[in-house]
Amino acid sequence: MLRIGLPEPIPAAWMPEFPSGVDLIPIGYASSEIHTIDFWIAPIYKKYAEPQFARLRGVKVIQSLLAGVDWMLPWVTEGVTLCDGQGLHEISTAEWAVAGILTALKQFPRYRDRQREQFWDGQLVGGKFSSDTEPPPYRILGDELAGKTVLIVGYGNIGAAIEARLQPFGVEVLRVARSARAGVASIAELPSLLPQADIVVLIVPLTPETHGMMNAAMLKKMRPGALLVNAARGPVVDTDALVEALHQGHIRAVLDVTNPEPLPVGHPLWSAPNCFLTPHVAGSTPQFFIRGYRFAAAQVARYLAGEPLKNIVNAQGY
């Protein structure tokens, strides 16, 4: 009997039908019990997964529902196979990226603050990122996505999904990936592409090559007033350099990930100007979890049948 460890609780609506011949072993997030299992469906949060893994014995397969599993790589020892959730986040993360872009361009966080103050902050107002096509008092705080140039850094499945959702807005898309291919530039060309973009979307995996990739020099290459959207991992961006660029008024930012994470109380990113934060929730929707557990059940079926597993991660993280 194949022993499958999985997080508890999982809403019944999210639970797929697992193949016969398995023993499902729910593991509570706060459980201190030692479990012997063969196939582990890991919690999506490191703070739960890490202590849980320390209490597991006999694990042969780790199935993560996340696309980014860099922090799990030390667990890939001899006899252990790690599989990620590549392809599961395309819809939710792509929708978050488009929503974040529109939120920033339309200045929704500002107007939400004004609503709480019951202050009618109308359009006869100037601002750091107002339209400069007309002199005051005709400056309007909002902006249009149409006609913007969007640079997608990390053009994989999620990057393509972001582009598909942006195309109806009439944008020009530039694409960057680890290696060049038709219509996609290599990461080595990023410095020359940054000055061309109004919006830069980061969706790269965290690797030694991408760690700190957006440092002070790279941020300075961005157009004045350009928008940085980070849906990748926090350490891809140099946090101190980002805070400085925001305070200088050089760029704007929408972040779902930060470094450190969780962002501690009092950290300067919380109060940095022209910065909107969400707490690493871009991929977290009920539909994502349904897709994720269905995928995990299909992986279990492949394992039982002796078929190759999908999304196997090597020691380099991809």
Parallel/antiparallel/unpaired status of strands 312-313 and 81-83 = antiparallel
Q: What is the pTM of this model?
A: 0.88
Active site residue 261: yes
Determine the Cα–Cα distance for residues 186 and 247; give it in Å rounded to an integer.
31
Domain of residue 200 covers 90-106+143-277
CATH number at residue 182: 3.40.50.720
Contact indicator for 177, 187 with CB cutoff of 8 Å: yes
Query: What's the whole-number mean pLDDT along residues 249-262?
Result: 97
* The residue to which tokens 């030390």 are assigned: 74
Beta strands in the chain (DSSP E): 2-8, 22-28, 35-36, 39-41, 56-57, 61-63, 81-83, 149-153, 172-177, 185-186, 199-202, 226-230, 251-255, 275-277, 312-313
Find the catalytic residue in 280, 291, 294, 302.
Answer: 280
Active site residue 233: yes
Find the catalytic residue in 261, 291, 294, 302.
Answer: 261
Q: Both 304 and 228 in a single domain?
A: no
Which tens digits make up the pLDDT trace of 237-252?
A: 999 999 999 999 999 9
Instruction: Give the torsion sign (CA, 175, 181, 187, 190).
Output: negative
* The residue to which tokens 């100037």 are assigned: 126
Find the catalytic residue in 89, 233, 252, 291.
Answer: 233
Q: Both 84 and 96 in a single domain?
A: no
Q: Both 49 and 155 in a single domain?
A: no
Q: Both 36 and 96 in a single domain?
A: no
Query: Would you place residue 138 in the very low, low, confident or very high pLDDT band (cuts 50, 70, 90)?
Result: low
Q: Both 199 and 303 in a single domain?
A: no
Which tens digits make up the pLDDT trace of 184-241?
A: 999 999 999 999 999 999 999 899 999 999 999 999 999 999 999 999 999 999 999 9
Cβ burial, residue 46 (10 Å; 0-12/13-18/19+): middle
